[in-house]
Structure 1
Amino acid sequence: MRSSTPPGQPALVALDWGTSSLRAWALDRDGAVLSTTTSRDGLRAVGERAAASQLPPADAFARTLAALSDTLGAPGVRALACGMVGADGGWTTAGRLDLPIPATAGALEPTMVPAASPAVGIVPGLRATPDATGSCDVIRGEETQVLGALARLGDPVDVTLVLPGTHTKWLRVADGDIVDFTTVMTGELHAALLDATILGDPARRADAGDVAGPPRTDLEAFDAGVAHALSHPAQPFAARLFSARTRYLSGELAPTGISSYLSGLLIGDETAAMLPAALAAEAPLALCADGPLGGLYQRALSTQGVTAPLLEDTALDGLRAVARAWGLLPPALPAPSIPSA
């Protein structure tokens, strides 16, 4: 499985392949990025295309990867993917590993896609064991971001990582093992509230051009939502949510600020609920996120007196680590020593 590709030539296509979109990179044998692309061809779109054309799903995924590889200038190059492409209904089921597991790339053996040519491996997800309520929890894709984040932090043996997204994860590393995580559906709740409830009606009309007028800045509205969440902890969460409606009716909140206000309410509520356990662990806290969402979590945490570094684009670092651990790329060369004077 070892790569014999010369430096500077594509040796691996790395993919962070999610439900609605994907990112792809062509890497040379040293792990250097030769080209990159993004696509809306996530799990859902590929499945819909397969159904519409009556293609076997595996063929639809293979064609999608072939087109991406051509775009990257890496035709016929083997691939390593993480994310929902390995879930039920994806290209192939990559399974989930039960916690605790070492927080190392060597613990995440890729599942090879049957009959794929060139070879395609998919990183497995993780499963937390049932808690006192009998519930378990699952991750798929974020485990690879975790590897990249830990490498950036110097591979600490104890840390709490927050991975904001559609389904935000609060993940605990203790004594060098991934021991537990909790999923919070903050991002999906935000989308549902904005798109399908009375709270989002003014924002939807504003987006359609029916409402004019200068809105509050997004950060002002976000900060107001965080402040409301933190200052009314005894109120039922559903009651706090309705403040988005009453503030709009009173003129305190412009239609175009409603989305940010709801984000503040939700992220404020989430961080206030999750921080006590994270701080009780007496371990460093770090954020692992791409795009503006990580900055919003930083802002909400700062309001509560917590400073957390923000690590971006860690999925690629994690994919590189898995590829090296499992022979899809050669091991990284050690840094040259500097002779003493």
Structure 2
Amino acid sequence: MTAPINPAWIAVDWGTSNVRAWAMSASGTVLAQAGSDKGMGGLDRAGFEPALLALVGDWLHGPTPLIACGMVGSRQGWVEAPYAAVPCPPLGAAMAIAPACDARLQVHVIPGVKQMHPADVMRGEETQIAGYLAQNKGWDGVICLPGTHTKWVHVSAGEIVSFQTFMTGELFATLATQTVLRHSIAADGWDEAAFESGLADAYARPEKLAGRLFSLRAEGLLHDLSGAAARARLSGLLIGAELASAKPYWLGQQIAVIGAGALARLYVAALAQHGAPATQVNAEAATLAGLTAAYRQLKG
């Protein structure tokens, strides 16, 4: 018979598409984990508590603190956790309390971070940044968080100073599946030389990006460019244009890249081509470290 899980607290990363939870000991050890596809995007406000109980109900044996980050704290989430304004520590504002009927749930939601000029916001990434800083005391530099909406974040003296968001991941998905390029881009496969070619072209001449994109279709029709090569070249073009625009952030800085393995590796490799070495950081580990830092801050 499996022993019951009896956590001191529960860590929750609640995004738009999915939710992940970890049963945690008081010292920060993971006792168990669970996940589902009940992300914020598919729930109304009344649906969050049932979705959470379905995920972690077996771990609850009395009032249990839950520390949650991500889109659960958005305007469309369980409870809106107001943004902290830069410059600020990544965990620089009081957590919001989500309303729960089940007395065992004590749900604390980490606020996002906002930048008034130029206007920008983040939710979830601040927790990963907090986790990285908790594990790298006194670190100053730039943190890149690749994903659907990639963030470049300037960090100094334990604070988020400024940041910029690029819709690179969303652009890739849209271009590959909802434009004329869908006829040319394979759903999988890779060509490293094509990626490096696209990266170099877009970094050198980012103003030509729109034309370079259509050339993927033309090269497929006229020169038999493979779907895998087109996929890799599209990724290179978009990341190259992003690096060119984000250059004021990363040039001459210490750089950490926090993200999923394959995508983060692309950014590390792209930066290395421009003489900018970057440290790759596991995204889940950074998230858990940030949620643990928030729990300890709550406990005082």
Secondary structure at the residue paired with 1:92? Answer: coil
Q: Which moved more, 1:183-192 or 1:267-276?
A: 267-276
Tell me what 1:174 maps to.
156
Deviation sequence 1:7-53 (CA, Å, 0-9, x none): x8311111111111122111011110001123211111223xxxxxx
Q: CA deviation at 1:258?
A: 2.7
Q: Choose from 174, 197, 214 the match for 1:224.
A: 197
Q: Does 1:142 align with 2:125?
A: yes
CA contact 1:69–1:75 (8 Å) conserved in 2:
no
Q: Choose from 17, 20, 24 the match for 2:21.
A: 24
Q: Does 1:152 align with 2:135?
A: yes
Structure 1, unpaired ranges of 5+: 1-7, 48-56, 208-214, 332-341
Tell me what 1:109 maps to.
94
Q: CA deviation at 1:305?
A: 1.7
For normalisation by structure 1, the TM-score amounts to 0.79
Q: CA deviation at 1:216?
A: 6.9
Q: Give the superposed CA RMSD.
A: 2.1
Indicate the percent of aligned positions where both proteins have the same amino acid.
40
Tell me what 2:169 maps to.
187
Going from structure 1 to structure 2, the CA distance change for 1:277 and 1:28 (only over 3 Å counts) comes to: closer
Tell me what 1:66 maps to.
53
Distance 2:181 2:234 in 1: 9
Tell me what 1:283 maps to.
253
Q: 1 or 2, which has the higher strand percentage?
A: 2
CA contact 2:10–2:22 (8 Å) conserved in 1:
yes
CA contact 1:19–1:84 (8 Å) conserved in 2:
yes
Q: CA deviation at 1:287?
A: 0.7
Tell me what 2:279 maps to.
309
Q: CA deviation at 1:229?
A: 1.4
Tell me what 1:84 maps to.
71
CA contact 1:161–1:286 (8 Å) conserved in 2:
yes
Q: CA deviation at 1:283?
A: 3.4
Secondary structure at the residue paired with 2:27? Answer: coil
CA contact 1:147–1:317 (8 Å) conserved in 2:
yes
Q: Does 1:299 align with 2:283?
A: no
CA contact 1:200–1:258 (8 Å) conserved in 2:
no
Q: CA deviation at 1:285?
A: 1.3
Q: Choose from 231, 248, 257 the match for 1:259.
A: 231
Distance 2:220 2:38 in 1: 37
Q: CA deviation at 1:195?
A: 1.3
Deviation sequence 1:176-229 (CA, Å, 0-9, x none): 3211111111011111111111112233xx65xxxxxxx973433322321221
Going from structure 1 to structure 2, the CA distance change for 1:143 and 1:277 (only over 3 Å counts) comes to: closer
Find the structure with the greater CA-based Rg. 1
Structure 2, unpaired ranges of 5+: none
Tell me what 2:8 maps to.
11
Q: Does 1:321 align with 2:293?
A: yes
Deviation sequence 1:132-164 (CA, Å, 0-9, x none): xxxx110111000001112233331x2111111
Going from structure 1 to structure 2, the CA distance change for 1:22 and 1:222 (only over 3 Å counts) comes to: farther
Q: CA deviation at 1:74?
A: 4.4
Q: Does 1:124 align with 2:111?
A: yes
Code of the residue aligned with 2:254 in structure 1: it is: P
Tell me what 1:247 maps to.
219
Secondary structure at the residue paired with 1:25? Answer: strand
Code of the residue aligned with 1:226 in structure 2: it is: L
Q: Which moved more, 1:242-251 or 1:177-186?
A: 242-251
Distance 2:261 2:60 in 1: 27
Distance 1:220 1:94 in 2: 44
